[in-house]
Structure 1
């Protein structure tokens, strides 16, 4: 079958679940990954074909996409902040909003990096996307990454090796830690923050396949991880140390109030590219 013909069929079969633009993006993502062909190659050569064995592979992938399995899991990887990351059902798929958080941290600290080496801790690292991106882009930073999931840490370690950065990984639950025994210049976290009441807003490809351990918190205590991490930050951030969070878009003001009550300073709430409250920053003051 000609590739151009199969493309039309592929998009049509996914149309009940995805719009044409997204279905087409899936097609060309798979095409480049599996055949090293780009959209321009198909446009310039209408006679390109798939063999029967290749169509079998494509049909298998199509069947999984129709079950709403995330394409990143089917491909086994995704791109984040210009780097390739292995992903699987043990880790969340990195989001563009989290790239914005990484960008914020890098921009805030590149100038400071001229004067000192930064010690950074990423709490709830998952695939390692935050920790590894920071290690890759902030020269001489010493980066540590913590997660409760052994399987997630296996994936994160592979990603650090693949991206040729040195990250120290720690297997522990932040909720069971009272003191990190080390001081850090920056603590960053994208912890679980989706309340159960918000599950109805979550797409099936996330709800049915991505790890709930990394996604959801109880409605009655939605800020449990933020409160605990902030307590740790008070003990283990250096003077004027930086605390960055990715947050639930509906709880921006709650987060500001929490940090104010805990005497953090220079609190800044920031919106993502979609206009949602998504990130928050503050400094710790040991004298406050």
Structure 2
């Protein structure tokens, strides 16, 4: 099997699961992971036969992909805001929509790099690490209930040479705020998918990403927004800002909840696909 035929076979096998563009992108990522060769080098050496160790990795990788395992879990890495990060089944794979949330925070504070900031439900650490790289003098904290997630986030922070204050804590615990300093900014991409939607989600999300980071009870989809709003009222300085990533169907509900909690200037923002995806609010 040559490099070229392996790639063609791989993308064809993935076509029932993904559209042509995504299948090709996954194919390129797996082939680079197996061979260590970039796309251009693979074109140059397209007629090169795969040695036995590459064929073995290829067969194993294809089998995992067909079982729904995300390519990021096979390669062990994902990209976010120009950074290569470690990912595994303990954390959500960073999404482009979350990059837009980071961008919004950065644009809102162009001349205030010495902020005190908290990310709640940090997962891989992608949000606080991206912000710390842009604001080296900021005092940045990151909270997660999962020790597995914090282990990954800590490795990513070390790999990106960023000093983050990590805290293992359940934000739903009423005592969570006591562990935190006064803050200028709180940001969170919390669980927000109702359990009833789980059956309709892709296999790679259902079975390979942590459910505690994704799902909320059907009867209380605003659970985390309400609680984080309460915590932010305790820890944000006057004029401090709260940022959320949200479920596209609950934008108005999140906005109304924050207004009920007496936040000011609550703004609902769409993502690149025109879906309600982010909310920003200010403490009086």
Report which stretch shifted further, 128-137 or 180-189.
180-189
In 2, distance between residues paired with 1:49 and 1:104? 47
Is residue 251 of structure 2 the alignment partner of residue 244 of structure 1? no
Deviates more, 1:224-233 or 1:198-207: 198-207
Say if 2:79 is the partner of 1:79.
Answer: yes
Q: Provide the rounded CA distance (Å) in 2 between the counterparts of 1:201 and 1:188.
A: 28
The TM-score with structure 2 as length reference comes to 0.96
Structure 1, unaligned runs of 5 or more: none
Residue 39 of structure 1, CA deviation: 2.4
Matched, 1:101 2:122: no
Which deviations, in whole Å up to 9, do the C-alpha atoms of 1:189-217 show, x marking residues without a partner? 11100001222431111011101001000
Partner residue, 2:186: 187
Distance change >3 Å, CA 109–CA 19, structure 1 → 2:
same
Q: Secondary structure at the match of 1:175?
A: coil
Equivalent position of 1:216 in the other structure: 215
Counterpart pick for 1:144 among 141, 144, 147 = 141
> Which residue is 1:3 aligned to?
3
- Stretches of structure 2 lacking an aligned partner (at least 5 in a row): none
Over 4 Å off, 4+ runs: none
Q: Which moved more, 1:93-102 or 1:132-141?
A: 132-141
How many Å apart are 1:16 and its aligned residue? 1.7
Distance 1:46 1:90, change over 3 A: closer
Answer yes or no: is 1:121 the counterpart of 2:128.
no
**CA distance in 2: counterparts of 1:11 and 1:134, whole angstroms:** 36
Cα separation, 1, equivalents of 2:42 and 2:158:
35
How does 1:151-162 map onto structure 2 within 5 Å?
151-162=148-159
Equivalent residue, structure 1, for 2:34: 34
User: What corresponds to 1:267 in structure 2?
Assistant: 266
Aligned positions, number: 282
User: In structure 2, how many angstroms separate the alpha carbons of the residues matched to 1:17 and 1:163?
Assistant: 34
